Structure 1
Amino acid sequence: MSNPQSLGSRVRTYRERLGLSSEELAKNSNVEAAVLKSIEADEVYPSIGTLVRLARALGQRVGTFTDDQFVPDPIIVKAETMVAATTSADGIEAPGYHYCLLGMGKTDRHMEPYYIIVDPQNKRPISAHEGEEFIIVVNDEVELVYGKQTFVLSAGDSMYYNSVVPHAVNAANGKPATIYAVIYTPI
Structure 2
Amino acid sequence: MTENNRLGPKIRMLRESKKMSVEELAEASRLRAELIEQLEAGALVPSLTPLLAISRALGVRLGTFVDDQPQAGPVVSRSSELGKDKDKVVRFSGKSAEGKSSVLDYYPLASDKQDRHMEPYIIDMHPQKENHELSAHEGEEFIYVMAGEVELFYGTEKFRISQGDSIYYDSVVPHDLHVYGDKDAKILAVIYTPL
- TM class, shorter-chain normalised? 0.7 to 0.9
2:57 maps to: 57
Cα contact 1:132–1:160 (8 A) shared by 2: yes
1:171 maps to: 179
- Matched residues in 1 for 2:23 and 2:45: separation? 19
Secondary structure of the 1:180 match is: strand
- Matched residues in 2 for 1:37 and 1:113: separation? 28
CA-to-aligned-CA distance 1:37-68 (integer Å, 9 cap, x gap) = 12211223433333222111111122322112
Deviates more, 1:138-147 or 1:87-96: 87-96
Cα contact 2:145–2:186 (8 A) shared by 1: yes
2:68 maps to: 68
- Matched residues in 2 for 1:164 and 1:140: separation? 26
- Name segments (4+ residues, structure 1) moved above 6 Å: none
Q: CA RMSD in A?
A: 2.3
- Matched residues in 1 for 2:35 and 2:106: separation? 19
* Residues 1:88 and 1:16: Cα distance change in structure 2 (over 3 Å): closer
> Which TM-score applies when normalising by structure 2?
0.82
- Matched residues in 1 for 2:172 and 2:33: separation? 22
Cα contact 2:45–2:102 (8 A) shared by 1: no
- Matched residues in 1 for 2:136 and 2:76: separation? 30
Deviation at residue 30 of structure 1 after TM alignment: 2.8
1:15 maps to: 15
> Which TM-score applies when normalising by structure 1?
0.85
> Matched residues, percent identical?
44
Deviation at residue 105 of structure 1 after TM alignment: 0.7
Number of residue pairs matched by the alignment: 183
- Matched residues in 2 for 1:60 and 1:81: separation? 27
Cα contact 2:72–2:114 (8 A) shared by 1: no
Secondary structure of the 1:11 match is: helix
Cα contact 1:63–1:107 (8 A) shared by 2: no
Cα contact 1:96–1:121 (8 A) shared by 2: yes
Deviation at residue 111 of structure 1 after TM alignment: 1.0
CA-to-aligned-CA distance 1:149-186 (integer Å, 9 cap, x gap) = 11111011111111122111111021000111111111
Cα contact 1:136–1:181 (8 A) shared by 2: yes
Cα contact 1:52–1:62 (8 A) shared by 2: yes
Secondary structure of the 2:137 match is: coil
CA-to-aligned-CA distance 1:82-140 (integer Å, 9 cap, x gap) = 24453333482584001101111112111111110110144453222121111111111
- Matched residues in 2 for 1:168 and 1:127: separation? 7
Deviation at residue 72 of structure 1 after TM alignment: 5.1
Deviation at residue 31 of structure 1 after TM alignment: 2.9
Secondary structure of the 1:40 match is: helix
Gaps of 5+ in 1: none
Cα contact 1:44–1:89 (8 A) shared by 2: no
